[in-house]
Structure 1
Amino acid sequence: MAAADPNESLNLRPLGMVEKNPTALKLILGGKLRELRAAAGLDPADVDGRLGFSRSKTSRIELGRHGCKRVDALALLGLYGVDDEERIEEFLRLVDQSRRADWWRSFNDVLSDFFTPLVALESAAERIRTYEPFYVPGLLQTPAYTRAVIQAGPGHLLPHDVMRRVELRQERQRQLDQPDAPYLWAMIDESVLMRTVGGREVMRAQLEHLIELMDRPRVTLQIAPLDVSAAVGVGTGVTYLRFALSDLKDAVYIEHLTDSTFTQKPQIVEQYRNMLDRLGACALTPGQSLGVLQKRLSDC
């Protein structure tokens, strides 16, 4: 059987929004280099030795943890037998794109390490599905509601830090307000609507905002009644990222009390996707959910 042509293996589909996301590009390019290395019958240590890389540099590049320089990309592609000049040049163009600064870097002062993977990749997703048992999902919050949630959290934050966290959440929302942004499917536990977060006026404005968002074609909102969420047993906040490109594995972000888990392990991702499927099937329809929101607003 003839060996696979490494030039064909380098083929990348049109990337769309992903091309604007340096973190996603690093993961895709690293994955392509990993495939080429495996096809060449080499392990990462072999590559490090042959190219004079520092220990584990090849692995870090393949995992998207280390930005790949043009000179490193050329050396790797040459070692793997890629010689199609047009495809090499396209790959190098994407390498340059991947080395741009991510927008969220300017929020490093308030961005926790465990939260960074979600913020870095959510705008590259084709679809975002999220369930929240305690608060309105962050991507649907008003600034005043966000401020109230942050101030109610653990620890004492200075006013400047609170403001920066509110700004970060607003910027995340703006990233998802582009023409080719992901579809957002949000499910909110019914108990969330019973909590008057930030006071009556803040809650009224938040309910009005949710009602307005339901008119957007890229937003689907469902309310999960108490008996439904109890039966399905999600129990914690979950966000699932679905990517259009097979080169990016789907991911889930799972919230805990003081930290979170972000994983792309297929078995775990599938478990949470199935759980969200069951919850969505049992939750109120968008039309019924709109009625619940309107009723809650009239009572608030």
Structure 2
Amino acid sequence: MAAADPNVSLFVRPLGAVEKNPTALKLILGAKLRELRLAAGLDPVDVDSRLGFSRSKTSRIELGRHGCKSADALALLRLYGVDGEECIAEFLHLVDQSRRTDWWHSFSDVLSDFLTPLVALEGAAERIRTYEPFYVPGLLQTPAYTRAVVQAGPGQLLAHDVMRRVDLRQERQRQLDQPDAPRLWAVIDESVLLRAVGGPDVMRAQLEHLVKMMERPRVTLQIAPLDVTAAVGVGTGVTCLRFALSDLKDAVYIEHLTDSTFTQKPQVVEEYRNMLDRLGACALTPAESLAVLRERLLAC
């Protein structure tokens, strides 16, 4: 098997926001180990056997589902012919970074399983594209608006649980304040502006917040008139995550009534990306959308 060039990094640098995201790092490290294994002409069963791993451990590591220990990573790199000390040191440093606790773990009491993949990776994205047919997108909601949305949801929640969900959404929004924050491109259905979620005062404050957020250079907001959304055929909320690094595949999050779908399958991601392209092309421009928001504010 051919040894890796000891003078070349195994990764495309810089990693940017990805390096601060343990979930994203696990996926990148797993993908890199899979690439090295294939180059070495080995299959996962061979690796498990040679290194004394439990069954399917190699596959779980490559999928980013199993936290890779430094000792395991070193054994894998040696097996795959990586002998450059700088490469190995860099890899093991990222392994250590990937074993940190994600910020969202502190919200595990209120974070649903189906939302976790989106929350875990959105901060590492280069671009977040989202369409919402019923509510203002979560990353653009005010605390009062979020509280009203949560309280209107299924089931009776204690006040503490409602506030925890509001805090979680606010924490997600803080990622947009980072120097390497994702670019947010959001399209909302025109009907969202007509729903006085939480009452007139809450809705007015929410509209004012949208106007303010549109001043940010990394935020783009468009409003899709009713005839546009009917023509494009979007029936549910969709969020696409685009990553700058080729080692991390783009993803799509699709909302359903009681759960969601999160996938990185290229054909599915491409289908929804094309749909968002069509929607954005037909929606009002950001300038036209800003004018509509201001008109709506005057009507409140």
Normalising by structure 2, we get a TM-score of 0.97
Q: Which amino acid aligns with 1:95?
A: V
Call closer, same or farther: CA 1:236–1:4 in 2, change over 3 Å.
Answer: farther
- For residues 104 and 176 of structure 2, the distance between their equivalents in structure 1, rounded to whole angstroms, comes to 14
How many pairs are equivalent? 298
Q: Which string of whole-angstrom CA distances, capped at 9 and with x for unpartnered residues, describes residues 155-198 of structure 1? A: 11111111100000000000221111000000000000010000
The aligned residue for residue 50 of structure 2 is: 50
Spell out the pairing of 1:64-213 with structure 2 (5 A cutoff).
Answer: 64-213=64-213
- Counterpart amino acid of residue 184 in structure 2: L
- Report the CA distance between 1:14 and its aligned residue: 1.5
What is the CA distance between 1:10 and its match in structure 2? 2.6
- The alignment-based identity, stated in percent, is 84
- Taking the aligned partners of 1:11 and 1:257, their CA distance within structure 2 comes to 39
Structure 2 match to 1:28? 28
Amino acid at match of 1:180: D
Superposition deviation, residue 5 in structure 1: 4.3
Residue 241 of structure 2 is matched in structure 1 by: 241
Structure 1 match to 2:294 = 294
Query: Aligned with 2:234: secondary structure?
Result: coil
Deviations 1:191-232 (A, max 9, x none): 000100000000000000000011000100000000001000
Q: Return the alpha-carbon distance in structure 2 between the equivalents of residues 103 and 110 of structure 1.
A: 13
**Alpha-carbon shift at residue 11 of structure 1 (Å):** 3.8
Q: For 2:245 and 2:3, locate their aligned partners in 1 and report how far apart those are by CA, in whole Å.
A: 21
Q: What is the DSSP-based 3-state SS (H/G/I as helix, E as strand, rest coil) of the residue aligned with 1:198?
A: coil
Q: Is the 8 A contact 1:183 1:219 kept in 2?
A: yes
Alpha-carbon deviation of 1:68? 0.6
User: Contact 2:125–2:241 at 8 Å: present in 1 too?
Assistant: yes
Query: Aligned AA for 1:6?
Result: A
4+ aligned runs moved over 2 Å, structure 1: 3-13
The Cα of 1:9 is off from its aligned counterpart by: 8.0
The letter of the residue matching 1:287 is: A
Distance in 1 between the 2:253 and 2:4 partners? Answer: 34
Match of 1:232 in 2: 232
Deviations 1:105-134 (A, max 9, x none): 000001111111100000000000000000
Q: Matched residues in 2 for 1:111 and 1:187: separation? A: 25
Q: Give the direction of change, closer, same or farther, for the CA distance of 1:4–1:282 in structure 2 (3 Å limit).
A: farther
Aligned residues of 1:11 and 1:87 also touching (Cα < 8 A): no
Check whether the contact 1:9–1:36 (CA below 8 A) recurs between aligned residues. no
Equivalent-residue separation in structure 1 for 2:286 and 2:228 (angstroms)? 15
Summarize deviations over 1:83-106 as a string: whole Å, max 9, x none: 001110000011111111100000
What is the aligned-residue RMSD (CA, Å)? 1.1
Q: Secondary structure at the residue paired with 2:123?
A: helix
Tell me what 1:6 maps to. 4
Name the CA distance, whole Å, in 2 between partners of 1:36 and 1:100.
Answer: 24
